Chain A
Amino acid sequence: MKRKKKPGYYTLLVLTVSLAGGAVLTVMPMSYAYKDCMLGYRAHCTLTPVSTILCLVAAVITYVVGQSSFTEAS
């Protein structure tokens, strides 16, 4: 069944996608990073994988909130 989207849904969706994209970005290699990340290679973020997990958790939360509170049965 298609659910009606309330105002604010797309804002949360963009936030979810941005956070998921940010999670991917953190694990991407970057040759000019100044030090190895915790996984032992030069990643975009030196705090990888902690930052990756944080981004993913935040993405899941915003997704769940968006689906539960910003949609309703049409």
Chain B
Amino acid sequence: MITFAMLLLVVVPLVAGIESFFAKKEDGRAISILAGLGAGALLWNVYSDWRVSPISSLVLAILAIVLMVRLFRAGTQIWKEGLVVTVVTFVALLVAWQGLLGFVVNAEVVNDVEVLNPEGSAGTALLTYHPGRSGYQEMITHAFSEGLVSNDWRVDVATASKEAPTDLAGYDLLVLSAPTYDWVPAKPIQRYLERLGDLGGQPTAVIVSAAGTTSLSLPMMENLVREANGDLVASYALWTLVPNRIAYGIDDSEEIMRQKGRAVPVPGE
């Protein structure tokens, strides 16, 4: 749904901008609103997307500048009104987006630590994840833990919050799992990694999911683990709007993660 809304936020401003060019001079207010809305929304897209798609962002920035020129050439009053509409549109989208990121999708979820297969003798894993809003991350994370359990691992499952364990003594494996928001791994998992501090060579696996691209979030997650002195033993990216068969040969996300969980080497073998 967010992807669809993002698409609308490109298409609609473009049409509004085009329409402003065809408006007559006596429709001054319409020109300022249409071009202002278009420029503001396009500039917000540039701000939001330049990290993963710099070329398309450059194109959108040029189109926003064209709309500003259109406003400027329409007269002083229209230019002033259009500038206000541009700024208000940009700020409104920015506030809404940052609010969505900060207070909705990146809000920490506190759950009790769930212990799976407490009698497991193969090794002990701590699996910390941010569930996100869709349930997808929770599903694939639990599928990974099922794979570990099938090899007789004991698995402690925690959500990335202040309540999650930070003492890694006694754990043979740390698994960090997070969805991608705003092109980067969810903030709760980043904050959790900061709380862990130096991983001291802890074997660590990372699981990152996204709607369409993990080109920024997966390398970032891997780097965060390496920078924290973790031993990155595995990293996986899964997508909800792109067929996972591209990378794994099958589409079933749960089965992919079960297989990956089963493939984790047992300590000492």
Contact = CB atoms under 8 A, between A and B. Distances in A.
Contacts of A53: none
A31 B30 CA distance: 44
Nearest to B8: A18
B16 interface: yes
Contacts of B1: 45, 47, 51
Interface residues of B, number: 29
A7 B8 CA distance: 19
B134 A7 contact: no
A24 B20 CA distance: 29
B253 interface: yes
Interface in A40-54: 45-47, 51
B30 A32 contact: no
B16 A6 contact: no
Given A11-B34, A34-B240, A22 B135 contact: no
Interface in B24-56: 27, 30-31, 33-34
A15 interface: yes
Interface in B228-269: 240, 242-245, 251, 253-254
A46 B33 contact: no
B103 interface: no
Nearest to A9: B19
Nearest to B238: A34
A29 interface: no
B153 interface: no
A35 B135 CA distance: 10
Contacts of A15: 8, 12
A interface, how many residues as a size bin?
A: 20 to 34
B1 to A, nearest CB: 6
Contacts of B243: 32
Nearest to A10: B19
A43 to B, nearest CB: 12
A14 B12 CA distance: 7
Interface string B1-13: 1001001100110
Contacts of B244: 32
Contact of B4 (A22, A32, A46): A22
Interface in A56-73: none
B15 A7 contact: no
Interface of B: 1, 4, 7-8, 11-12, 15-16, 19-20, 22-23, 27, 30-31, 33-34, 134-136, 139, 240, 242-245, 251, 253-254
Given A14-B15, A34-B253, 17 more contacts: A6-B27, A7-B22, A7-B34, A8-B19, A8-B30, A10-B15, A11-B16, A11-B34, A15-B8, A18-B8, A22-B4, A31-B251, A32-B244, A34-B240, A35-B139, A47-B1, A51-B1
The 5 closest A-B pairs by CB, nearest first: A7-B30, A32-B251, A7-B23, A11-B16, A14-B15
30 contacts: A7-B27, A7-B30, A8-B16, A8-B34, A9-B19, A10-B15, A10-B19, A11-B12, A11-B15, A11-B16, A11-B34, A14-B11, A14-B12, A14-B15, A15-B12, A18-B8, A18-B11, A22-B4, A22-B8, A31-B251, A32-B242, A32-B243, A32-B244, A34-B240, A34-B253, A35-B135, A35-B136, A46-B134, A47-B1, A51-B1
